[in-house]
Every structure is written in structure tokens, then in C-alpha cells.
Structure 1
Amino acid sequence: MVDFIYWVGMAAVAVNALTGVLEAERKEVDVLGATFVAVATALGGGTVRDLLLDRNVFWVVDQTYLITAVAVGIGSFFLIRHRRVSPRWFLFPDAIGLALFTVIGTQAALQWHTPWLAASLMGVITGVFGGVVRDVLCNEVPLVMRAGALYATAAWLGALLLIGLQQAGMPDLWASGITMFAILGLRMAAIHFHLTLPSFPAKRDGS
């Protein structure tokens, strides 16, 4: 299970680094700027989680995560530099990164003997905070704040599902796999079917 979590975490770093570059591409930044956004996106959520849990920050302990984020950032920049990238290309890897990091964050909190509700929120923070940093750096409204995204909602429901499955006695590996697919499925369904939570109505000028 430890090896599984490690490689899922590495995959999450790579995928989130890619989403950082895809978002930065729309702002026409240079390779250094794109790589900075990629690294912040890939490592931001896990960094906040580890600081809140008062444990060593994961990419400081194992620099392979940092190297992976930098390598994917630079490689992705040159791969898509001369290509016209549709904004829709961003959505699927972003959903994958959300699913992977939410599971990683929840598992890390549970292994740190964090109570279940706090552990679920650690999963959400790990899943969404890198994207928040990415969007702020790219001068965009964070995706988690946009109506109809079911972004943090998918992460939190997934984290609670993971905790529930493990409490019911399901092996961690199976519970993690099911949760990843559940988060990914809910997020993509929300995008395709425009699923939304209640939100404040748009205000008209002068109202």
C-alpha cells in the first residue's frame, strides 16, 4: 500500500504540473513562468496539508517530487509551445489530478491519526489548493469558486467515501481505487451535464 500511495502521489504531481502549464499557456508566459506555475500547482496542496498536520513537507523529504514537477513543467512547455491548445484539454487532467491528490491527502491524514472529519478536509485541501494557487498566479477566478464546477464538492464527497469504505473494512487499495474513479466520474459528469450547487443569483446593474 505504501508503494501504491507513493506512485499515485508521483502521478498526481506530474498531472497537476501539466495542468499548470496548460493554464499558463493561455497567458503567454515564458518557460520559467510556466515552470513556476507548474511546480506551484503540483506541490501547493500537499505543502499546505503537511504544514497543517505539522509534518515534514513531502517534497523536501523526497526531492523526486520536486524534480518530477520541474521536468514535467519544462517538458510540457516545449511540447505544447507551438500548438493551439483547446481549453477543454485542461479539464480532464485537472479532474485526474483532483482525484489522485484527494485520495493521497486523505490517506496521509489518516495515517497521521487525524480524526475523520479533519482527514476529509485535508483531502480536499490537498486536492484543490494547488489549483487555487495556479489560478491566482494566472489571474483567474479559482476553479473551486466557480459556480457549477462541483470541484471541492467532488473532492470532499470522495474523501468521505474513502473514509467510509475503509471503516467498513474494505482494503485500502480497493477503497483508494474506487474513490479515485468516483471523484473523476463526478467531476466529469458535472462538466458534461452542468451539475451545480445552489449559488447566489447574478446581480443586475443598479439592483
Structure 2
Amino acid sequence: MVIISGIDFTDVLDLLGTFAFAASGIRLASGKDIDWFGAYIIGLVTAIGGGTTRDLLLDVTPFWMTDASYLITTGVAFLAAILFKNSLLRWGITLFLFDAIGLGLFTIVGIGKSLDAGLPFWVCILMGAITGSVGGVIRDVLLNEVPLLFRKDIYALACIAGGFAYFVCYQLSLPPAVTEVAAVLTVIAIRVMAVKLHIQLPLLNLDNTQKKG
């Protein structure tokens, strides 16, 4: 846990990730014939889905059940989407950027909380990937989309790469804040570069039979 001037840096990352993921969920819900309440719910499950799964695996009470700030932050993201829809959320790139930022922030939060629980580092990296990606999976399923996690996009692998960056910085005994920021930027950079440079994983095709004309 990183404390700067009385402020828990991990909590700040958590709320920023909540806002970013909620905004991405709300943005994706627009145009899907979903009303305002439904859009809020989509944003909420996007923001809390991964962390809830992580906490259940850690056998602790899900974080949002003891702190209403996550529900409030999702509401703020919803209001921002409504108020600034003509200037902020009209570009498709906005959805992608919010999703990439949330992915990076939540990955690091998951790693930090797992480290606090005394888990091995390889488990912490997996918990970071779960925290970062499962909310997006739930969002896509609810919106009848194929989840990014199961497509050829570099998504969960970006979380894992960020986890390894965290581990390297941790082993070098860098300041915790520097470690977390470096890992967040690693996740975001890999996600952005993968899309910009069209870097994708190969599709699985075990059917070697060829169609004959």
C-alpha cells in the first residue's frame, strides 16, 4: 500500500480505474437500445466485475460492498458521458482509450491487493489480469459482443506484461509509486501499440482439412 501525503495511492488508482472502465462500458452501451439505468448498470459491472472476481478468489468481501465510492464514481462517469457526449465520447477512439487506461489501472490494483494478501508473485500477476479483464468480459457478454479477451486482440497478455514490469521494478527496489506507474504505462503502451500496429495473436484452427472444389 502506497501512502503519499496521507493519500492511499492504490485507492486513487482504483477510483481512476473505476471511472475509466465505467466510462468505457457506458460508451459501448450507447446505441444498443439500452436506457439510462441499463447503461449505468453496464458501466458498473464493467468497473467492478474484475475486482469482484478477484475478491471472491481471495475469499474476502467484494470491495464495493463496503465502500459506496465505486457506485458513486460510476455515477460520475455516467453524468460525464451525458454532459460531454458531443465533445468527449463521440469518437470511437475514446472508448478504446478509456478501456486501455482502466485495464492498466485495474491490473496494478489487483497485483497490489494480492501482494498484500501474501500470495506468490505469479499468482499476483494472474490476479492482476483477472482484475483488469474480467469486467470487460462481463460487459461484452451483456451487450452480446464477443469478449475482447477471447479474440485475437492483445488484451489479457497486456495485463500479464504489466505484471512482469511490476515484478522487475519490485525486484529492483524502486519506489512503490514508480513501480505502479511504470506497470500501468506498460499495460497501456502494449495495448495501444498492439492496436496501432495491428499486432494480433494467431487464430486457433485445428481443422487441417482443405475444401475441394
Judge same fold: TM > 0.5, yes or no: yes
Q: Which runs of 4+ in 1 moved over 6 A?
A: 81-84
Deviation at 1:6, TM superposition (A): 0.6
Deviation at 1:70, TM superposition (A): 2.7
Other-structure match for 1:6? 11
Deviation at 1:57, TM superposition (A): 1.3
More helix by share: 1
**Residues 1:67 and 2:72 aligned together:** yes
**Residues 1:169 and 2:149 aligned together:** no
Deviates more, 1:167-176 or 1:178-187: 167-176
The verdict on how the C-alpha distance between 1:31 and 1:105 changes in structure 2, with shifts beyond 3 A counting, is same
Give secondary structure in 2 for the equivalent of 1:80.
Answer: coil
TM-score (norm 1): 0.91
Other-structure match for 1:40? 45
Other-structure match for 2:145? 140
Indicate if the aligned counterparts of 2:19 and 2:74 stay in contact, CA closer than 8 A: yes
Deviation at 1:113, TM superposition (A): 0.5
The verdict on how the C-alpha distance between 1:84 and 1:162 changes in structure 2, with shifts beyond 3 A counting, is closer
Q: Matched residue pairs, number?
A: 205
Other-structure match for 1:114? 119
**Residues 1:128 and 2:133 aligned together:** yes
Unpaired runs of 5+ residues, structure 2, are: none
Indicate if the aligned counterparts of 1:35 and 1:74 stay in contact, CA closer than 8 A: no
Alpha-carbon distance in 2 for matches of 1:13, 1:108:
16
The verdict on how the C-alpha distance between 1:84 and 1:13 changes in structure 2, with shifts beyond 3 A counting, is closer
Deviation at 1:165, TM superposition (A): 1.6
The one-letter code matched in structure 1 to 2:157 is: T
Other-structure match for 1:199? 203
Other-structure match for 1:23? 28
Deviation at 1:189, TM superposition (A): 0.2
User: Larger Rg: 1 or 2?
Assistant: 2
- Determine what percentage of the aligned residue pairs are the same residue: 34
Give secondary structure in 1 for the equivalent of 2:202.
Answer: coil
**Residues 1:187 and 2:181 aligned together:** no
The verdict on how the C-alpha distance between 1:29 and 1:83 changes in structure 2, with shifts beyond 3 A counting, is farther
**Residues 1:91 and 2:78 aligned together:** no
- After superposition, the CA RMSD in angstroms is 2.2
The verdict on how the C-alpha distance between 1:140 and 1:151 changes in structure 2, with shifts beyond 3 A counting, is same
Q: Map Cα deviations across residues 27-53 of structure 1 (whole Å, 9 max, x no partner).
A: 131101100100000111111101100
Deviation at 1:160, TM superposition (A): 1.9
